[in-house]
Amino acid sequence: MKIFWAVLALVAPCLGACQLPTNVAIKRIDALRSAQDTCLRENVAQFDDRASDARQVGRYVAMSCSVQTEKLVQYAVPYATRQEYAAFQNDALVRATGYVVSSRGAAS
């Protein structure tokens, strides 16, 4: 039993180091998501005429941030299927539409 604890004591620091790449990847994904969110928020004013349907404006905003979405997809899912890629695009559309609705509410 003493051998087990001795081996565990030697291996435990290595197990902690195994988390490092995962933590770095999560931070990178968070940074890419933040860049995408910033793009979406900043482009709402450019496309929103306050008369058009919020979802249509959200679609234009999401398309204007396609570079950020593409970077996020490529890093998060390196070999993304069409379905996975479409899910990221749909997520950007939903969030962009939310920003449009929020900006309209704040301006009232």
Integer Cα distance of 29 and 100 in angstroms: 24
Integer Cα distance of 43 and 49 in angstroms: 12
pTM, entire model: 0.76
Q: Distances in Å between the alpha carbon of 33 and those of 12, 25, 55, 59, 101? A: 32, 12, 21, 18, 20
* pLDDT (tens place) for every residue of the chain, 108 residues total: 656 454 445 545 555 544 446 788 889 999 999 999 999 999 999 999 999 999 999 999 999 999 999 999 999 988 999 999 999 999 999 999 999 999 998 766
3-class secondary-structure state, position 86: helix
Residue with tokens 């941030």: 65
